[in-house]
Structures are given as structure tokens and as C-alpha cells.
Amino acid sequence: MNYKKILQKYRKDRTRLIEILKEIQAREGHISEKAIICVADELGLSRAEVEGVISFYHFLSARPLGKYVVYLNNSITAEMAGREKVALAWEREIGCRFGQTSEDGLVTLLETSCIGMNDQEPAAIINGVVFTSLNPDKVKKLVGWMREGRAAEDMVEETGDGANGHELVRAMVRNNIRKTGPVVFGEYVPGQAIGKALETTPECVIDEVKRANLLGRGGAGFPTGLKWEFCRKEKGEQHFVICNADEGEPGTFKDRVILTERPEMVFEGMAIAGYAVGARLGILYLRHEYTYLRRYLEHVLQKMREQGWLGKNIAGRGFDFDIEIKMGAGAYVCGEESALIESAEGKRGEPRDRPPFPVQKGYLNLPSTVNNVETLATATQIITRGASWFRSMGTPVSAGTKLLSVSGDCERPGIYEVEYGLTVKELLEMVGAKDTLAVQVGGPSGNCISEAGFGRKICFSDLPTGGSIIIFNRGRDLFSVVRNFLDFFIEESCGWCVPCRAGNVLLKKKFEKIASGLGTVQDLKEIEAWGKIIKSMSRCGLGQTSPNPVLTTLASFRELYESRVNKEADFIPEFDLSRAVAEASAITGRKFQEEQDHA
């Protein structure tokens, strides 16, 4: 394989390292030692550094993989939808375990964190193609096709609604838009907003967005207008607009639907942001899991260039702005804006220290504004319809509408565009949820609330959310939910700082002690204290929210934890001898009797 040719294609640009590695892997199935050496030498990097990048990302591999690589999602909604049976079916049909490649080298089975398909689980990505609503029969069929050598894209029998059926997408993914609203799914004529923005000054655009009180839709809620203003004021030879399309919070899939159905609105928002901050280039950082949308999005960009909404001299007003797409490679932490920038520069997606903030030193150390997909789409509508129109919706603090990705135990999972201020109870009725035990608002990093909190409002001042809403009914075991979320954070920690890297493993250990009935009142105190330490001491938002699955269920469902702990004992060891030898006892048929009298 001629690696040098690939490197030349990317102009030996170090910031394109991830793309280079992905192309090599796409052609050869993995990134061999030979490839690593060549890439390192040509880019002026050490081999260790290239290995560091490959090993950071879930979808890059230095070891050979099968002809088909199955990434089965392991999120909680997948579990609820029967993931275990599907996983067993894969293992049975292929003849190897998850984490392994079949002996004939045909299939590799791997697990992966949430792929943004929560309303159509269990789902998997096979050679870049998404397969939803899997069951053991479908698995059998897919494996049969694999044995025949059918290409993954030819295994899609029926495509989903909307642009999912476009010839450049051809995905079986469904949009499941259950409720449209006036902003993201409102009336929209492409090109209007950018034209209108260019008639005014950048300062006026910023003012309008500020007056609209648009807060970041990714979850953190930073005022968008202010962010643009800070970015504009920074000196730098170039400014950048980055659209964060790395939605990785388990349970969120609204950006996927926006990019499928409203890509022009997002790209237009990027151009408006570009005009506001003084940027000529925008980057759409698209998560690897949504690779299937890439060709379609490139096509939309090209169409927009042809129509004069992107490229040189937009709308004849002398403003140049273009957008390129950069792909992620599988890392939840890259949704954090500074980690995203590192990744976009072709490095390990490790968050940066702040200050300096991305608006000061972002992409290539130049002023950059990083905005969520929904934020940018919303900005487009604000420019067209005006700030007061926008503020007439929602609450005084949280203006406008929010897209919610609803999954779990309800009749109508999918996308809902609702005004801020909606109560959880109203939402539950809207989606057809019955006998609800708990609602996870904002994904694992958010808040788990019980019935006592169903009167609370979805808005920035009460229950903020990037859009993830997962519903659990009374038949569910909350401990398995917490366990799934803790495993997620342990896996997705970048490993940079101690409290997140080690603390979360310890927190999980303590959780398992309590869950298995070996906990005491002291253990409950300790798990809470440890959670607070991790929250306080961690370096970035991932670590600072990672104990939330424990801390928020402790707050909402304390009685559940209390029912599991032994209230009399001062101390129970974590190690339970009779439990540890139970399997061996069962196999040998010999009963193990714990000595009753330790004294």
C-alpha cells in the first residue's frame, strides 16, 4: 500500500492525522506498524505519538480486524430493548466473544458507547452502516449475508423516512419526529437569514442574538451572543467557527435528526456566526458514528455553494465563508469544546486547561467559537424572525424551544420540539409514558429524578438538558441503570487527571459493594463523599459530572440504597468468601459452609 500517496492527498498536514489514519484503516482494515512508521516519519512525529492518537479513539485500530466489524451499542436503552439476546445471537452465530475476531477472520465483535439511536435500539454499526432495531433473527440474517460476502450497505433492506432515504444516505435510521415546533422544525427558506445578516453589521447580528437570549443548546447554556462577541473582540490572524456535532451524551440523538432534515439551517447558522465573529472558515466536527451522513452533508454544502450561500462573495455582499467537515473517531470526551478542538487538530481528544478559552485560543490557537448544532440552527431562525419572536416562547430565562430526544419506557420515543418551561409530567403525557419510576434528564451526566420531581420544569434554571430524556418505568432496576452509566464514564474518561481516571473506578467498586448487599451505612456516606471529591477535583466537565448517576439517584431514591445496606453492621468486608466460591462449589457439588464462629 502506498501510504505516501495518501499522505500527499492530505498535504502531509498534521491536523489531518485522524483522517489519514481513518483512510488507511478503511483500505487495510487496520493501521499496521508499517503504516504507523511511515505516517510518523512523513508528518515529523514520533511513532509513540501516532500510537497515542490511534489508541485514544474507539474506532481506530492498530490490530487487524475482521472483514466485517460489528460495533454493538451498549447504552442503557439498548439493554432495555433486549441487547443481551442480540449480543448472544451475535456470539452464537459468529462463534466468538465480543472483543474478538472469528477464527476465519470474517467478523470482529466489539462494543461501543451510545451511537445516537436510542429510539431504535438495539443498534449496531457494521462497516460504517447503521443497523437499528436488531433482534436475534435479524442477526442471523445479517451473518448469513456476511458469509455470502455481501457489502454492509447492501444489507439495508428498507431505508428510513426523510433524507434517510436520500441516495447519498440510504440508512435504515428513522427520524421519529413526533412533535415539530416553530424554531428548528418551523418554516424555513434557506438563504434568507444569511442574506438578512449580511445587510447589517456583525455587531448588529451579535446584538440580535444577545437580545434573543439564546443559550447554548449543548447543555452548558452559555449565552451564544456573548460567546460570539468575546470571539470577535479577540485579535488573531484568523477566526474559526466550529459546529459541535459530536453529540455523545447517551440518550441524545436530536443533532442527528437536525443534520438529516435541517442541514442547511445549521450551515447557514455557521455562516452567520462566521460573519459575526469575523471568520472565513467553519468546521463541522461530526462524530464518527454519523459517518453515514457525511456524503449527504458534503452534497448539501456543494449545493449551498452553487446557490451562493457559501463560498466567495456570499449573497453578493463581499463576505467569504466556507465549511469543511472533520470527522471524530469515537470518544465521548470530544464533545467538550477544547477536547473537540484538540481532536480537530488531529491529536488525542484531551481537554485543555482554561484559560485561555477557545474564544481566545481555540483551533490552531486562534480565536474560535464552538457552538452546538441546535444552537446554530436556532441562530439562523432568530436572524430571520427576530429576537422578540424568539423571546415570546419559553420562559424569561430560557427563551425559545428545545429539541428533546426521548427514549426508554414510553409509547412514542423520538424527537420533540417543545418550549422551555414544559414540566416533566407534561412531557411524560406527551410521549405516552406510563407507570414511570424515574426520568433521566440530560443523560448520565445530568439528573435522575423521581415522581417527586415530575412537576419540575425543563429549562436552564431548573432542569437543564442537552436534549437527552430517558424514561424508566417501575419494572426497571435503577441499579442496573446506574451501573451502565458508571461503566460509561469509566470507559470514556480520557485518563488525564487522577480523580476522573481512578476515582470513577473506585466509585463503581463502592457502588457494587452496596448493590450486592454488602454495604453499610458507612458505605453510603463514603460513596457520597467520594462522588463529591471527583466532582470537585476533576479537570473537565466529564469528570465533574461523572458521579452524577450515583449522586442524583442517591438524592432522588435514597430509600432504594437504604434498603440494600445493612443498618446494624459497622463494617462488612467487600470480599464475600461464600459468594466467591459459590461457582466452584456448584461445579464440584461440595457445599461450602462458612464458619459461623469466627471468634
Site residues (CB under 8 A) for another protein? 44-49, 51-52, 55-56, 331, 348, 350, 353, 355, 490-499, 501-503, 505-506, 509, 526, 530, 533, 536-539, 574
Whichever of 474 and 509 has its CB closer to another protein, that residue is: 509
Nearest alpha-carbon partner for 308 in 202, 188, 192: 192
Q: How far is the CB of 468 from another protein (least distance, A)?
A: 22
Nearest alpha-carbon partner for 73 in 153, 138, 26, 131: 131
Q: How far is the CB of 544 from another protein (least distance, A)?
A: 9
Q: How far is the CB of 52 from another protein (least distance, A)?
A: 4
Whichever of 337 and 419 has its CB closer to another protein, that residue is: 337
Q: How far is the CB of 347 from another protein (least distance, A)?
A: 10
Q: How far is the CB of 509 from another protein (least distance, A)?
A: 6
Q: How far is the CB of 515 from another protein (least distance, A)?
A: 15
Q: How far is the CB of 9 from another protein (least distance, A)?
A: 23
> Could you tell me the three cell numbers for 315?
449573497
Rounded alpha-carbon distances, angstroms, from residue 485 to 447, 491, 505 = 12, 10, 12
Whichever of 56 and 267 has its CB closer to another protein, that residue is: 56
Nearest alpha-carbon partner for 197 in 188, 206, 189: 206
> Could you tell me the three cell numbers for 95?
462463534
Whichever of 323 and 565 has its CB closer to another protein, that residue is: 565
Q: How far is the CB of 531 from another protein (least distance, A)?
A: 12
Q: Which three-class secondary structure state does DSSP give residue 488?
A: helix
Whichever of 49 and 298 has its CB closer to another protein, that residue is: 49
Separation CA 211–CA 481 (nearest Å) = 40
DSSP labels for 388-426?
A: HHHHTSB-SSSBSEEEEEEEESSSS-EEEEEETT-BHHH
> For residues 101 and 61, is the Cβ–Cβ distance under 8 A?
no
In the sheet that 414-419 helps form, which strands lie side by side, from edge to edge? 177-179, 414-419, 401-408, 468-473, 436-441, 447-450
Q: How far is the CB of 542 from another protein (least distance, A)?
A: 11
Nearest alpha-carbon partner for 71 in 324, 305, 374, 292: 292
Whichever of 125 and 497 has its CB closer to another protein, that residue is: 497
Residues 6+ apart with CB under 8 A from 10: 16, 19, 20
> Could you tell me the three cell numbers for 52?
497515542
Q: Which three-class secondary structure state does DSSP give residue 126?
A: strand
> For residues 465 and 441, is the Cβ–Cβ distance under 8 A?
yes
Q: How far is the CB of 238 from another protein (least distance, A)?
A: 24
Whichever of 84 and 574 has its CB closer to another protein, that residue is: 574
> For residues 111 and 71, is the Cβ–Cβ distance under 8 A?
yes
Q: How far is the CB of 144 from another protein (least distance, A)?
A: 35
DSSP labels for 266-308?
A: HHHHHHHHHHHHT-SEEEEEE-GGGGGGHHHHHHHHHHHHHTT
Q: How far is the CB of 507 from another protein (least distance, A)?
A: 10
Whichever of 46 and 392 has its CB closer to another protein, that residue is: 46
Instruction: Report the 10 Å Cβ neighbour count for 47.
Output: 13
Whichever of 59 and 185 has its CB closer to another protein, that residue is: 59
Rounded to a whole number of angstroms, the distance between the first and last alpha carbons of the chain is: 71
Q: How far is the CB of 32 from another protein (least distance, A)?
A: 16
Whichever of 39 and 410 has its CB closer to another protein, that residue is: 39
Judged by phi (left if over 0) then psi (alpha if -120 to 50, else beta), residue 309 lies in: alpha
> Could you tell me the three cell numbers for 298?
458534503
Whichever of 257 and 339 has its CB closer to another protein, that residue is: 339
Is omega for the bond preceding 396 within 30 degrees of 0, making it cis?
no
Separation CA 146–CA 129 (nearest Å) = 13
